[in-house]
Amino acid sequence: MNKAKFITFEGVDGAGKSTHLEWFANALRQRGIDLLVTREPGGTPLGERLREILLNHPMHAETETLLMFAARREHVEQVIRPALQRGTWVISDRFSDASFAYQGGGRGVALDKLEQLEQWVHGDLQPDLTLLFDIPIEVARQRLANNISLDRFEQEQGAFFEKVRQAYLARSQKTPARFAVIHAEKTRDEVQKILEKIVSSI
């Protein structure tokens, strides 16, 4: 039996990641794969409470970072690792790359602090594959403009998201074998064709 895979979806707000995640998960399930879909921040009862705070309550950038990783510790221990161990694939809507992009790139938290937290929280566990939905920030902002209520991150300015985007790309260049960078400004059908190829390959 093939080892259960851990796959993460990443990208700036408005890249269309959540829509594509749903399609991708269905495509895997149709091929008979036992699959769990989860998200960050969140994924556990405690993580979802932390999410509520993180998305709404103003705080220092390092507090934000620590809470993201605290939620992640719980998520890895309670959900991700047990699922993989019993042979269930896991797709997470965001994982540590989001902390490097948003807290590191966006908020300017030092890279070595993030690396220490990553090592501490899941030093021995990395995604097998990360789909990074990359999109020009103007396009992502236009897509978000239709949302009625925006959370604390989505309310940030374009310059913040430009830094987040660049940090995601830098992160993907550091371990390119783990990443599939997808040009998310393409139409939904075009992106799905790319995803179909990825599904077949894994």
Work out whether 153 is an interface residue with ligand TYD (CB under 6 A). yes
Work out whether 126 is an interface residue with ligand TYD (CB under 6 A). no
Interface residue with ligand TYD, options 99, 109, 118, 122 (CB under 6 A): 99
Binding region for ligand TYD (CB under 6 A) out of 19-27, 94-102, 111-119, 188-196: 94-102
Interface residue with ligand TYD, options 93, 114, 118, 172 (CB under 6 A): 93
Q: Which is nearer to ligand TYD, 34 or 119 (CB)?
A: 119
DSSP string, the chain: -PPPPEEEEEE-TTS-HHHHHHHHHHHHHHTT--EEEEESS-SSHHHHHHHHHHHHS---HHHHHHHHHHHHHHHIIIIIHHHHHTT-EEEEE--HHHIIIIIIIIT---HHHHHHHHHHHHTT---SEEEEEE--HHHHHHHHTT-SS--TTTTS-HHHHHHHHHHHHHHHHHSGGGEEEEETTS-HHHHHHHHHHHHHH-
Q: Which is nearer to ligand TYD, 80 or 98 (CB)?
A: 98
Work out whether 160 is an interface residue with ligand TYD (CB under 6 A). no
Contact footprint for ligand TYD (CB under 6 A)? 13, 18, 40-41, 68, 93-94, 98-99, 102-103, 153-154
